[in-house]
């Protein structure tokens, strides 16, 4: 995406949000060259096939509501959840696939949730992957120990890029 101000051939997405009907996505971009910000709107072609067989547009809100339960009592803010949903959307979109199973969304959520909060991750994984016993938890915990998430790095303040603009 060219910068409309200086025509720099690259830009950085600083925020993206889905329209209420879920059919379009609006991105805030910033030019790394001149620092100016601009918006683009894209039509979303990303749909999700639910387990019931119903096809619906990908929804960040559904990602948030699906993960929120697992985050109860954890130090996870609404801004964290919004960022997580954004990351999930970006990772599923980056696969270039236009239609996903609900299952694929769950898979895409797991690594981002793990970076956010390991307890919430375990809760979500236990439901999503249908843990049946302690051994399943032990396996997941062993995996976490072997490949720790990014939680220890601390998370960047969400929305910091959008505060002074707009
Ligand atoms: Zn520019």
H-helix or E-strand spanning residue 136: helix 134-146
Span from the CA of 44 to the centroid of ligand 1 (angstroms): 26
Q: Are 88 and 105 in contact (CB under 8 A)?
A: yes
User: E strands of the chain, at which residues?
Assistant: 12-18, 24-30, 37-43, 47-49, 55-57, 99-101
Q: What is the pTM (predicted TM-score) of this model?
A: 0.62
Q: How far apart are CA 37 and CA 34, in angstroms?
A: 9
Q: What is the pLDDT along the chain (166 residues), one digit of tens a residue?
A: 789 999 999 899 999 887 765 657 788 999 999 999 999 887 657 889 988 888 888 889 999 999 999 999 999 999 999 999 999 998 888 887 888 898 889 999 999 999 999 999 999 999 888 899 999 999 999 999 987 666 544 444 444 443 443 4
Around Cβ 11, how many Cβ atoms within 10 Å?
A: 21
Span from the CA of 165 to the centroid of ligand 1 (angstroms): 15
Span from the CA of 15 to the centroid of ligand 1 (angstroms): 17
Q: How far apart are CA 153 and CA 145, in angstroms?
A: 15
- β partners of residue 99: 47
Q: Report the Cα–Cα distance between both ends of the chain, in Å, rounded.
A: 19
Span from the CA of 116 to the centroid of ligand 1 (angstroms): 33
Span from the CA of 12 to the centroid of ligand 1 (angstroms): 11
Span from the CA of 34 to the centroid of ligand 1 (angstroms): 4
């Amino acid at each position: 995406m060219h910068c409309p101000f200086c025509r720099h051939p690259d830009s950085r997405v600083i925020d993206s949000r889905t329209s209420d009907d879920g059919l379009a996505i609006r991105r805030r971009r910033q030019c790394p060259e001149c620092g100016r910000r601009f918006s683009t709107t894209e039509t979303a072609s990303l749909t999700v096939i639910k387990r019931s067989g119903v096809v619906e547009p990908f929804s960040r809100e559904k990602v948030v509501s699906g993960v929120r339960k697992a985050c109860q009592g954890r130090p996870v803010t609404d801004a964290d959840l919004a960022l997580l949903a954004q990351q999930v959307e970006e990772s599923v979109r980056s696969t270039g696939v236009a239609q996903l199973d609900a299952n694929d969304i769950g898979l895409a959520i797991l690594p981002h949730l793990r970076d956010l909060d390991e307890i919430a991750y375990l809760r979500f994984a236990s439901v999503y992957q249908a843990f049946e016993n302690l051994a399943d938890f032990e396996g997941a915990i062993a995996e976490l120990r072997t490949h720790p998430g990014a939680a220890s790095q601390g998370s960047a303040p969400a929305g910091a890029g959008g505060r002074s603009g707009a």
